[in-house]
Structure 1
Amino acid sequence: MTTVAPDRAALGAFLRERRGRVSPGDVGLPPGGRRRTPGLRREEVAQLAGVGVTWYTWLEQGRARNASDQVLAAVARVLRLDAAERRHLLALAGRAPETRRPAPTRVRPEHVAVLAQLLPFPAAVQTECYDLVASNRAYRYFFADLDAYPPEDRNCAWLMFTDRRWREALVDDEVVLREIVARLRGREPEHRDDPRWHALLDRLRESSSEFARFWDSYDVAGDRTSLRRYRSPRVGRVDVHFQSLWLDRERGDRLIVLTPADDVSRQRLERLDALVGAAPAWTSQDDLGAQADEAAGAEGTRVRVPAR
């Protein structure tokens, strides 16, 4: 059942871009002679999906209405969409569950306690649009002092694209930045009525030509554990497994954890925690009060709620 308004223009653009990535050989077709553009022709997609050529053309042109789930599934199969891309396709077609605008994330005392217990591993609470709403001290100092940034800038996507220190910490910068944009691109249709998302995306497009270039490539990705290689300004090269663990799947809030991928990285994270171990605990009295300090054992955890 359609629960949100479809974005037919964006749906057409997504299908055109994805059609250009699939070769005839990928779907068992002969090359078919010279092609003016890469990828499949519209009539080939229509034939393989079992729909009319005219109707599929309208779908790419943003003119088709009420595409059925069966048709969307068939087109997704032909275009070899993965799970994240299929979710994105359904959202553009109006099939995603309606996302109610949530209240600002409220970090609970048990979240703070988990962040403290994960030391010396860097960990933070992050929203679906990459706002950092809480972190332990290892994460706070892993790139630079997170507390030194104004609340509106405490967003991973923003810092990775616009801050020199965060960017220089990435060994494989293009891989990481493309993945950040692909995740934002994949979930954006589900948050088209959320002003936080609009503000972040507009700000990134205006401030970073690189972000705009990656955004226009229309890559889509979901959450997955990945190997990340960083250069911490305090302890040097650290290789970690970057994990996202759901706190609230419906809202998109998650716990991100950087666990060492080797013994050297583990030792360097332990050294980082030793270097910044004198950092005092801090919590937002407006949101958690004294309970959070008590739940976290006070030492080493700092909670912040960005201004909205």
Structure 2
Amino acid sequence: MFGMHRNNLLGAYLRTCRGRVSPGAVGLEGLGPRRVAGLRREEVALLAGISSNYYLRLEQGRDRHPSEQVLESLARALRLDPTETAHLLALGRPPTRPVDDPRLVAVPASIGRLLEAVGLPAFVQDEHLDVLASNALARALSPALRPGRNRLLSVFLDPDERDLFADWDLVAAHLVASFRTSIAASAGDQRTSELVDELSARDTRFRELWERHAVVNMVDRPPVRFAHPLVGGLTLTRDNLAIDGPNALRLMIYHAAPGSQDHDRLVRLRDAAPSS
């Protein structure tokens, strides 16, 4: 399903976005019967100030790296918000490295030391949401937060992981949108294709969420509510911090306000967690 479009993420995103725009919202109502939802291709081209033929080439993937000026014009025509605009710009840029680069990514030694010193559930993931490193408290919070696991596969396919989240559907929707945001710069690489193909085949809800083409920013994430088997209900803030370097690694940290019931339960979990 995804494999057919792995090299045309830009075109797929443009098609989805124009389908969301009401003709009336851009002053194009009353132009006769419509066979498609949202805007026609030629209408998007008109609003963006480009030729219909050029816009068709973008949607079909025959031109994959338009100028930022063109992309910004398309973002305005499609009424994209700042997060969606940033995603469109990322999709239109040439990939920063070969899309099927098989190299192993190492977590910086200083980040590994930080994981052990921080005293909070913390882990490192790459752009595909593969867990590369984690501390004992993160693994006590969720056994799926261990190196070698993938967050998407765990959240959608592991029954224990589903049970862990009190708001599973909200978490799942946010995770898929985060994944789309994260992989934009890699232009449909092999790892992305493998994950999306497997999940689309095995989980209907993932397939529905993936087809939405929703994206999110990397900050202001909603609190995460856990139904933890050891300490009970636990609501934590999750921060997502970029790690310097070329590999798009991110440090994920869960925490709670000192003095709160959630903080006390997190301390209980830390006391019960194994030391390694």
Equivalent in the alignment of 1:256:
252
Residues 256, 8 of structure 1: alpha-carbon distance in 2 compared, 3 angstrom cutoff = closer
Paired residue for 1:99?
A: 97
Aligned to 1:304: none
Q: Distance in 1 between matches of 2:190 and 2:58?
A: 28
Alignment of 1:111-190 (within 5 A): 111-119=111-119, 121-144=120-143, 152=148, 154-190=149-185
- Separation (CA, whole Å) in 2 of partners of 1:254 and 1:212: 25
Aligned residue for 1:96, secondary structure, equals coil
Q: Please name the residue that 2:196 is paired with.
A: 201
Contact 2:242/2:251 (8 A) holds in 1 = yes
Q: Name the aligned partner's letter for residue 266 of structure 2.
A: L
Opposite residue 116 of structure 2, the aligned amino acid is A
SS of 1:105's partner is coil
- Structure 2 residue runs of 5 or longer lacking an equivalent are 1-5
Q: 1:243 aligns with which of 216, 219, 239?
A: 239
- Compute the displacement of 1:255 (Å): 1.0
Q: Residues 164 and 47 of structure 1: is their aligned pair in 2 closer, same or farther, counting only changes over 3 Å?
A: same
- More off after superposition, 190-199 vs 264-273: 190-199
Q: What's the counterpart of residue 32 of structure 1?
A: 30
Q: Which protein shows a greater Rg?
A: 1
What letter corresponds to residue 227 of structure 2 in structure 1? R
Q: How far apart in 2 are the matches of 1:14 and 1:108?
A: 34
Match of 2:270 in 1: 273
Give the counterpart of 2:228 among 227, 232, 236. 232
Deviation, structure 1 residue 216: 1.9
Instruction: List alignment gaps of at least 5 residues for structure 1.
Output: 1-6, 282-308
**2:121–2:138 Cα contact (<8 Å) kept:** yes
- 1:238-267: CA deviations, max 9, x gaps? 111111111235311111001115711111
Would the aligned equivalents of 2:121 and 2:137 in 1 still touch at CA under 8 Å? Answer: yes
Seen in structure 2, the aligned counterparts of structure 1 residues 197 and 38 have a Cα distance that, compared at 3 Å, is: closer
Q: Is the 1:90–1:96 Cα contact (8 Å) retained in structure 2?
A: no
Shift of 1:25: 4.9
Letter aligned with residue 113 of structure 2: A
Instruction: Tell me if structure 2 keeps the 8 A contact 1:143–1:233.
Output: no
- Which is worse superposed, 96-105 or 154-163? 96-105
One-letter code aligned to 1:32: G
CA contact (8 A) 2:11 2:60 kept: yes
Write the deviation string for residues 24-63 of structure 1: whole angstroms up to 9, x where unpaired: 4544x26437655432333432232122344434433445
Question: What is the CA–CA distance in structure 2 between the aligned matches of 1:25 and 1:138, rounded to whole Å?
Answer: 52
Change (3 A) 1:74 1:206: same
Q: Percent identity?
A: 37
Q: How does the TM-score come out when normalised to structure 1?
A: 0.74
CA contact (8 A) 1:8 1:63 kept: no
Check whether the contact 1:225–1:244 (CA below 8 A) recurs between aligned residues.
no
d(CA) in 2 for partners of 1:62 and 1:146?
37
SS at match of 1:231: strand
Give the Cα separation in 1 of the matches to 2:57 and 2:94. 21
Moved over 6 A (4+): none
Mapping of 1:75-90 within 5 angstroms?
75-90=74-89
Alignment RMSD (CA, Å): 2.9
